[in-house]
Amino acid sequence: MSLYEELVAAGATLAHHESDLYVLSTPTARDIIARHALASTFIGHDDGRVWHDVPFAYDPFWAETPRLRLAL
């Protein structure tokens, strides 16, 4: 299960910008993130709460983005 899938299953509050996944900081979210990836934290401008930023972890972005082919 991917980080994104596990956070969704746990009911975490999520947001994103393109491929970057933002996760509201909770004990459950922190435990899940610690098992999967490194994340930075930031204070949300809108809500003043602590969020985690996990680069490239928003799965739907990758599902919707066409794959690039390299010409060799």
* Overall average pLDDT of the 47-71 stretch: 85
Q: Which two tokens stand for residue 18?
A: 């393109």
Q: Which two tokens stand for residue 23?
A: 């996760």
Q: Are 41 and 50 in contact (CB under 8 A)?
A: yes
Average pLDDT in the chain:
92
- Closest CA relative to residue 55, chosen from 36, 68, 70: 36
Domain range list for the chain:
3-61
More confident residue, 56 or 66: 56
